[in-house]
Amino acid sequence: MKDFIAIADYSAKELQEFLDLAVSLKTEWKNGGNKPIFKDKVLAMVFQKPSLRTRVSFDMAMRHLGGDALYLSPAEIGLGKRESIADVARVLSGYVDIIMARVFDHAHVEELAKWASIPIINGLSDYNHPCQGMADALTIYEEYGDMKGLNITFVGDGNNVAVSLLHICAKLGANFTVATPKGYEMPVAGLEQGKKFAAESGSSVNVLNDPHEAVKNADVIYTDTWTSMGQEEETKKRQAVFPPYQVNAALVAEAKENVIVMHCLPAHRGEEITDEVADGPHSRLFPQAHNRLHAQKAILVKLIQ
């Protein structure tokens, strides 16, 4: 396991091993702390986009495991602008043990992986968000004890978060339904890959435009912001299109009685999700956010050891 670029790169067995390791590391941490197995190990965190959860969770993951992390801001590196990605990858490979990159263009993280001689973790790209997908699966796994046969519904923009969620659901046997407005569907390549994984695991993928139909019989309802970073010029247009896809109490009531609601955060409360739902009994928003820490510990351990 050299890199962690996409959920699609891993088998169902390997993904389950990540989850089981995350559970083990989380339990160890709760019972007094993790063993300092990363003594003298350093993670370089390369950011093109601002972040709260990605930065803090990776930093604390390294600290909990006895290592250290360096934050490299957009101004410090200027990835692909001030210096070529190939040069950045080769320079950092001589200084640190592993790199996490949060980028706009998915090709940038792929190029880092091509030129680096140390592991690369995709902390987010415009195509996918595999670290979020692992934390999402960990949250669902903790709630239900298994992914197989569950009904997971994503409501909103068919974005990078939806791609990684689809892939891990399909790999681990959960049925995935996505409801998006017309024109905001998931990327074709990501969707087709997800369908292939679902066929292999015996699960299903359903693509709809009606959020009410999508949440029927759902065990999990997942949503995300209507406008992602880099799409700010589309904000007004999107705010006119997406209101029917708001996850509110009425929509949640159409799902299973014990449905859980998830959101990768940051949330634009009053837009894609209401306060009543985000802070209500169905919400798992904050356990989900906290699971970024534990899922990423598992990724780091698998790549560094």
Enzyme catalytic residues = 102, 129, 132, 224, 264, 292
Helices 12-30 and 130-144 cross at an angle (nearest 10°) of 70
Angle made by CA atoms 175, 156, 237, in degrees to the nearest 5: 160
Q: Chain-centre distance of CA 209, in angstroms?
A: 23
Q: In degrees rounded to 5, what are phi and psi of residue 130?
A: -65, -30
CA–CA dist 233, 231 (Å, integer): 6
The rounded distance, in Å, linking the Cα atoms of 191 and 205 is 9
Can you tell me the distance from the alpha carbon of 110 to that of 126, in angstroms, rounded to the nearest whole number? 12
By the 10 Å C-beta count (0-12 exposed, 13-18 middle, 19+ buried), 255 is classed as buried
- Please, which residues have CB within 8 angstroms of residue 91's CB and are 6 or more apart in sequence? none
